[in-house]
Structure 1
Amino acid sequence: MPSFDIVSEFDSHEVTNAVDQANREVSTRFDFKGSNAQFEQQEDSIVMKAESAFQLQQMLPMLYAKMTKRGIDIGCMESGNPQTTGRTAQQTITLKQGLETPVAKKIVKLIKDKKLKVQAAIQGDKVRVTGKKRDDLQQVMKILKEEELGQPLQFNNFRD
Protein backbone atom coordinates (compact mmCIF):
# COMPACT_ATOMS: atom_id res chain seq x y z
CA MET A 1 0.00 0.00 0.00
CA PRO A 2 1.56 3.33 -1.04
CA SER A 3 2.49 5.76 1.73
CA PHE A 4 4.64 8.78 2.55
CA ASP A 5 5.63 10.83 5.58
CA ILE A 6 5.02 14.54 6.16
CA VAL A 7 7.88 16.07 8.16
CA SER A 8 9.34 19.46 8.94
CA GLU A 9 13.11 19.33 9.14
CA PHE A 10 16.28 20.98 7.89
CA ASP A 11 19.83 19.89 7.22
CA SER A 12 21.91 20.96 10.23
CA HIS A 13 25.12 20.77 8.20
CA GLU A 14 23.72 23.32 5.75
CA VAL A 15 22.76 25.56 8.69
CA THR A 16 26.39 25.41 9.86
CA ASN A 17 27.57 26.35 6.37
CA ALA A 18 25.11 29.25 6.17
CA VAL A 19 26.21 30.58 9.58
CA ASP A 20 29.87 30.36 8.52
CA GLN A 21 29.13 32.26 5.31
CA ALA A 22 27.19 34.92 7.22
CA ASN A 23 30.11 35.32 9.66
CA ARG A 24 32.47 35.74 6.73
CA GLU A 25 30.25 38.42 5.20
CA VAL A 26 29.96 40.31 8.51
CA SER A 27 33.72 40.30 8.94
CA THR A 28 34.31 41.72 5.44
CA ARG A 29 31.55 44.34 5.29
CA PHE A 30 32.68 47.94 5.65
CA ASP A 31 29.89 48.99 8.00
CA PHE A 32 30.83 46.19 10.44
CA LYS A 33 34.61 46.90 10.47
CA GLY A 34 35.98 47.07 13.99
CA SER A 35 32.80 45.76 15.57
CA ASN A 36 32.65 42.34 17.16
CA ALA A 37 29.49 41.37 15.32
CA GLN A 38 29.11 37.63 14.84
CA PHE A 39 26.75 34.68 14.54
CA GLU A 40 27.06 31.74 16.94
CA GLN A 41 25.35 28.44 16.27
CA GLN A 42 24.16 26.44 19.24
CA GLU A 43 22.06 23.25 19.40
CA ASP A 44 18.77 24.42 17.91
CA SER A 45 19.40 28.14 17.77
CA ILE A 46 21.61 30.86 16.35
CA VAL A 47 22.71 33.78 18.51
CA MET A 48 23.54 37.06 16.80
CA LYS A 49 25.86 39.37 18.73
CA ALA A 50 26.65 42.98 17.84
CA GLU A 51 27.32 46.36 19.39
CA SER A 52 23.83 47.77 18.79
CA ALA A 53 20.29 46.70 17.99
CA PHE A 54 20.59 48.52 14.65
CA GLN A 55 23.44 46.20 13.63
CA LEU A 56 21.32 43.20 14.60
CA GLN A 57 18.61 44.48 12.26
CA GLN A 58 21.18 44.56 9.45
CA MET A 59 22.54 41.11 10.27
CA LEU A 60 19.19 39.29 10.16
CA PRO A 61 18.60 39.71 6.38
CA MET A 62 22.18 38.54 5.78
CA LEU A 63 21.47 35.32 7.66
CA TYR A 64 18.15 34.83 5.87
CA ALA A 65 19.85 35.27 2.49
CA LYS A 66 22.56 32.72 3.32
CA MET A 67 19.98 30.22 4.61
CA THR A 68 17.87 30.59 1.48
CA LYS A 69 20.89 30.09 -0.79
CA ARG A 70 21.71 26.87 1.10
CA GLY A 71 18.17 25.53 0.54
CA ILE A 72 16.84 26.05 4.06
CA ASP A 73 13.31 27.39 4.33
CA ILE A 74 13.37 30.43 6.62
CA GLY A 75 9.88 29.50 7.82
CA CYS A 76 11.56 27.17 10.32
CA MET A 77 13.29 30.14 11.95
CA GLU A 78 11.70 32.10 14.79
CA SER A 79 13.53 35.24 15.85
CA GLY A 80 13.33 36.50 19.39
CA ASN A 81 13.47 40.07 20.64
CA PRO A 82 16.88 41.77 20.74
CA GLN A 83 18.34 42.26 24.21
CA THR A 84 20.77 45.08 24.85
CA THR A 85 23.06 44.94 27.84
CA GLY A 86 25.55 47.73 28.29
CA ARG A 87 27.73 47.85 25.17
CA THR A 88 26.46 44.70 23.45
CA ALA A 89 23.22 43.51 21.93
CA GLN A 90 22.18 39.98 21.09
CA GLN A 91 19.25 38.22 19.53
CA THR A 92 18.38 34.52 19.52
CA ILE A 93 16.90 32.82 16.48
CA THR A 94 15.29 29.47 17.23
CA LEU A 95 15.28 26.74 14.57
CA LYS A 96 12.10 24.65 14.64
CA GLN A 97 12.32 21.03 13.57
CA GLY A 98 9.60 18.39 13.71
CA LEU A 99 5.85 18.78 13.56
CA GLU A 100 4.29 19.98 16.78
CA THR A 101 1.08 18.24 17.88
CA PRO A 102 -1.33 21.11 17.01
CA VAL A 103 0.14 21.42 13.51
CA ALA A 104 0.01 17.64 13.01
CA LYS A 105 -3.63 17.55 14.13
CA LYS A 106 -4.42 20.40 11.75
CA ILE A 107 -2.81 18.46 8.86
CA VAL A 108 -4.80 15.30 9.68
CA LYS A 109 -8.04 17.31 9.92
CA LEU A 110 -7.30 19.04 6.62
CA ILE A 111 -6.74 15.71 4.88
CA LYS A 112 -9.93 14.20 6.36
CA ASP A 113 -11.99 17.26 5.38
CA LYS A 114 -11.04 16.76 1.70
CA LYS A 115 -12.68 13.29 1.82
CA LEU A 116 -9.91 11.59 -0.12
CA LYS A 117 -9.45 7.83 0.15
CA VAL A 118 -6.36 8.08 2.33
CA GLN A 119 -5.61 7.59 6.01
CA ALA A 120 -3.44 9.99 7.99
CA ALA A 121 -1.86 9.05 11.31
CA ILE A 122 0.37 11.05 13.65
CA GLN A 123 3.58 9.17 14.46
CA GLY A 124 5.72 11.19 16.86
CA ASP A 125 6.91 14.32 15.05
CA LYS A 126 5.66 13.27 11.61
CA VAL A 127 2.41 12.36 9.89
CA ARG A 128 2.15 9.18 7.81
CA VAL A 129 -0.35 9.17 4.95
CA THR A 130 -1.38 5.86 3.35
CA GLY A 131 -3.77 5.14 0.50
CA LYS A 132 -4.52 2.63 -2.23
CA LYS A 133 -3.66 4.90 -5.15
CA ARG A 134 -0.55 6.94 -5.78
CA ASP A 135 -2.70 9.67 -7.36
CA ASP A 136 -4.56 10.20 -4.08
CA LEU A 137 -1.26 10.62 -2.24
CA GLN A 138 -0.03 13.11 -4.84
CA GLN A 139 -3.26 15.06 -4.45
CA VAL A 140 -2.68 15.25 -0.68
CA MET A 141 0.82 16.60 -1.34
CA LYS A 142 -0.60 19.24 -3.68
CA ILE A 143 -3.22 20.29 -1.12
CA LEU A 144 -0.64 20.63 1.65
CA LYS A 145 1.74 22.64 -0.55
CA GLU A 146 -1.03 25.16 -1.24
CA GLU A 147 -2.02 25.40 2.44
CA GLU A 148 -0.34 27.91 4.79
CA LEU A 149 0.42 26.04 8.02
CA GLY A 150 3.11 28.32 9.45
CA GLN A 151 5.81 25.69 9.13
CA PRO A 152 7.69 24.35 6.09
CA LEU A 153 6.75 20.79 5.14
CA GLN A 154 8.73 18.11 3.37
CA PHE A 155 7.44 14.83 2.00
CA ASN A 156 9.76 11.86 2.31
CA ASN A 157 9.83 8.08 2.66
CA PHE A 158 7.51 7.64 -0.35
CA ARG A 159 6.77 3.94 -0.80
CA ASP A 160 4.83 2.22 -3.52
Structure 2
Amino acid sequence: MPSFDIVSEVDKHQLTNAVDQVNRTVANRFDFKGVDAEVEMSGFDLTVRAEADIQVTQMVDMLRSALIKCDIDPLAMDVGEEEQSGKQVKVQITLKNGLEKELSKKIVKIVKEEKLKVQASIQGDQVRVTGKKRDDLQKVIAMLRNRELDQPLQFENFRD
Protein backbone atom coordinates (compact mmCIF):
# COMPACT_ATOMS: atom_id res chain seq x y z
CA MET A 1 0.00 0.00 0.00
CA PRO A 2 1.51 3.38 -1.00
CA SER A 3 2.55 5.72 1.81
CA PHE A 4 4.70 8.72 2.66
CA ASP A 5 5.82 10.60 5.77
CA ILE A 6 5.28 14.27 6.54
CA VAL A 7 8.21 15.67 8.54
CA SER A 8 9.70 19.03 9.42
CA GLU A 9 13.46 18.77 9.74
CA VAL A 10 16.37 21.17 9.55
CA ASP A 11 19.64 19.83 8.15
CA LYS A 12 22.21 20.43 10.89
CA HIS A 13 25.12 20.60 8.44
CA GLN A 14 23.41 23.22 6.27
CA LEU A 15 22.50 25.19 9.41
CA THR A 16 26.17 25.22 10.45
CA ASN A 17 27.11 26.43 6.96
CA ALA A 18 24.56 29.27 7.16
CA VAL A 19 25.80 30.40 10.59
CA ASP A 20 29.43 30.32 9.41
CA GLN A 21 28.49 32.30 6.31
CA VAL A 22 26.81 35.02 8.43
CA ASN A 23 29.81 35.24 10.77
CA ARG A 24 32.19 35.60 7.79
CA THR A 25 29.97 38.29 6.28
CA VAL A 26 29.87 40.22 9.57
CA ALA A 27 33.67 40.02 9.88
CA ASN A 28 34.12 41.44 6.37
CA ARG A 29 31.43 44.13 6.26
CA PHE A 30 32.56 47.73 6.60
CA ASP A 31 29.70 48.78 8.90
CA PHE A 32 30.61 45.96 11.34
CA LYS A 33 34.36 46.79 11.54
CA GLY A 34 35.49 46.93 15.17
CA VAL A 35 32.09 45.73 16.42
CA ASP A 36 31.75 42.71 18.70
CA ALA A 37 29.02 40.87 16.79
CA GLU A 38 28.46 37.19 16.04
CA VAL A 39 25.96 34.37 15.72
CA GLU A 40 26.47 31.53 18.20
CA MET A 41 24.98 28.09 17.68
CA SER A 42 24.19 25.35 20.19
CA GLY A 43 22.02 22.59 18.78
CA PHE A 44 19.08 24.23 17.03
CA ASP A 45 19.26 27.34 19.23
CA LEU A 46 21.01 30.40 17.88
CA THR A 47 22.06 33.57 19.70
CA VAL A 48 22.64 36.73 17.68
CA ARG A 49 24.80 39.27 19.55
CA ALA A 50 25.82 42.79 18.59
CA GLU A 51 26.33 46.23 20.14
CA ALA A 52 23.23 47.92 18.71
CA ASP A 53 19.71 46.77 17.96
CA ILE A 54 19.94 47.80 14.30
CA GLN A 55 22.99 45.57 13.89
CA VAL A 56 21.10 42.64 15.44
CA THR A 57 18.22 43.26 13.03
CA GLN A 58 20.64 43.30 10.09
CA MET A 59 22.26 40.07 11.28
CA VAL A 60 18.88 38.33 11.60
CA ASP A 61 18.12 39.38 8.01
CA MET A 62 21.54 38.08 6.89
CA LEU A 63 20.82 34.80 8.68
CA ARG A 64 17.44 34.53 6.99
CA SER A 65 18.99 34.99 3.54
CA ALA A 66 21.82 32.55 4.37
CA LEU A 67 19.25 29.93 5.41
CA ILE A 68 17.45 30.39 2.11
CA LYS A 69 20.72 29.90 0.21
CA CYS A 70 21.32 26.68 2.19
CA ASP A 71 17.85 25.32 1.32
CA ILE A 72 16.39 25.81 4.81
CA ASP A 73 12.95 27.40 4.90
CA PRO A 74 13.03 30.59 7.03
CA LEU A 75 9.60 29.63 8.43
CA ALA A 76 11.54 27.28 10.70
CA MET A 77 12.96 30.31 12.53
CA ASP A 78 11.29 31.32 15.78
CA VAL A 79 12.79 34.74 16.58
CA GLY A 80 12.58 35.87 20.20
CA GLU A 81 12.59 39.35 21.69
CA GLU A 82 15.64 41.61 21.79
CA GLU A 83 17.35 41.67 25.19
CA GLN A 84 19.67 44.47 26.31
CA SER A 85 22.43 43.32 28.65
CA GLY A 86 25.21 45.80 29.30
CA LYS A 87 26.73 46.85 25.98
CA GLN A 88 25.30 43.85 24.12
CA VAL A 89 21.95 43.32 22.45
CA LYS A 90 20.93 39.67 22.08
CA VAL A 91 18.21 37.83 20.21
CA GLN A 92 17.45 34.16 20.75
CA ILE A 93 16.40 32.22 17.65
CA THR A 94 15.07 28.69 17.86
CA LEU A 95 14.78 26.54 14.75
CA LYS A 96 11.73 24.30 14.73
CA ASN A 97 12.81 20.72 14.19
CA GLY A 98 10.20 17.97 14.17
CA LEU A 99 6.43 18.30 14.16
CA GLU A 100 4.83 19.36 17.41
CA LYS A 101 1.82 17.40 18.62
CA GLU A 102 -0.66 20.24 17.92
CA LEU A 103 0.59 20.70 14.35
CA SER A 104 0.48 16.93 13.77
CA LYS A 105 -3.14 16.84 14.93
CA LYS A 106 -3.94 19.81 12.68
CA ILE A 107 -2.39 18.04 9.66
CA VAL A 108 -4.36 14.84 10.38
CA LYS A 109 -7.55 16.92 10.68
CA ILE A 110 -6.85 18.72 7.38
CA VAL A 111 -6.25 15.39 5.60
CA LYS A 112 -9.47 13.90 7.00
CA GLU A 113 -11.50 16.97 5.99
CA GLU A 114 -10.50 16.47 2.35
CA LYS A 115 -12.44 13.16 2.34
CA LEU A 116 -9.86 11.40 0.21
CA LYS A 117 -9.41 7.67 0.61
CA VAL A 118 -6.27 7.98 2.72
CA GLN A 119 -5.43 7.48 6.38
CA ALA A 120 -3.15 9.78 8.36
CA SER A 121 -1.56 8.68 11.62
CA ILE A 122 0.81 10.43 14.01
CA GLN A 123 4.06 8.56 14.59
CA GLY A 124 6.29 10.44 17.00
CA ASP A 125 7.35 13.70 15.38
CA GLN A 126 6.05 12.79 11.92
CA VAL A 127 2.74 11.98 10.24
CA ARG A 128 2.39 8.93 7.99
CA VAL A 129 -0.20 9.03 5.22
CA THR A 130 -1.27 5.77 3.56
CA GLY A 131 -3.76 5.08 0.81
CA LYS A 132 -4.60 2.66 -1.98
CA LYS A 133 -3.97 5.06 -4.87
CA ARG A 134 -0.83 7.00 -5.56
CA ASP A 135 -2.90 9.85 -7.02
CA ASP A 136 -4.69 10.38 -3.70
CA LEU A 137 -1.36 10.69 -1.91
CA GLN A 138 -0.14 13.21 -4.47
CA LYS A 139 -3.35 15.22 -3.93
CA VAL A 140 -2.63 15.29 -0.20
CA ILE A 141 0.91 16.56 -0.84
CA ALA A 142 -0.35 19.28 -3.21
CA MET A 143 -3.07 20.30 -0.76
CA LEU A 144 -0.63 20.58 2.17
CA ARG A 145 1.84 22.60 0.10
CA ASN A 146 -0.89 25.15 -0.63
CA ARG A 147 -1.86 25.48 3.04
CA GLU A 148 -0.33 28.19 5.21
CA LEU A 149 1.11 26.30 8.17
CA ASP A 150 3.49 27.74 10.76
CA GLN A 151 6.25 25.34 9.87
CA PRO A 152 7.92 24.10 6.68
CA LEU A 153 7.00 20.54 5.71
CA GLN A 154 8.98 17.91 3.84
CA PHE A 155 7.52 14.77 2.30
CA GLU A 156 9.75 11.71 2.61
CA ASN A 157 9.72 7.94 2.13
CA PHE A 158 7.21 7.91 -0.72
CA ARG A 159 6.68 4.20 -1.31
CA ASP A 160 4.49 2.27 -3.70
The TM-score range, normalised by the shorter chain, is: over 0.9
Q: Could you list the per-position Cα deviations for residues 10-52 of structure 1 after superposition, in whole angstroms to 9, with x for gaps in the alignment? A: 1010000000000000000010000011011111211111111
> What does 1:6-85 align with in structure 2 at a 5 Å threshold?
6-85=6-85
Q: Give the structure 2 partner of residue 97 of structure 1.
A: 97
Unaligned runs of 5+ in 1: none
Distance across 1 between alignment mates of 2:89 and 2:131:
52
Q: Could you list the per-position Cα deviations for residues 75-95 of structure 1 after superposition, in whole angstroms to 9, with x for gaps in the alignment? A: 011000111111111111001
Distance across 2 between alignment mates of 1:105 and 1:85:
39
What one-letter code is carried by the residue in structure 2 that aligns with 1:56?
V
What one-letter code is carried by the residue in structure 2 that aligns with 1:75?
L
> What is the CA RMSD across the aligned residues, in angstroms?
0.6
Distance across 2 between alignment mates of 1:129 and 1:87:
51
Distance across 2 between alignment mates of 1:131 and 1:107:
16
Distance across 2 between alignment mates of 1:103 and 1:67:
23
**TM-score calculated relative to the size of structure 2:** 0.98
Q: Could you list the per-position Cα deviations for residues 122-142 of structure 1 after superposition, in whole angstroms to 9, with x for gaps in the alignment? A: 001000000001000000000
Asked if 1:106 corresponds to 2:111, the answer is no
Distance across 2 between alignment mates of 1:88 and 1:116:
53
What one-letter code is carried by the residue in structure 2 that aligns with 1:63?
L
Unaligned runs of 5+ in 2: none
Q: Could you list the per-position Cα deviations for residues 96-145 of structure 1 after superposition, in whole angstroms to 9, with x for gaps in the alignment? A: 11111111111111111110000000001000000001000000000000
What one-letter code is carried by the residue in structure 1 that aligns with 2:62?
M
Asked if 1:121 corresponds to 2:155, the answer is no
What is the percent sequence identity of the aligned residues?
56
Task: Write out the 4+ residue segments of structure 1 that deviate beyond 3 Å after TM superposition.
Answer: none
Count the aligned residue pairs: 160
**TM-score calculated relative to the size of structure 1:** 0.98
What one-letter code is carried by the residue in structure 1 that aligns with 2:116?
L
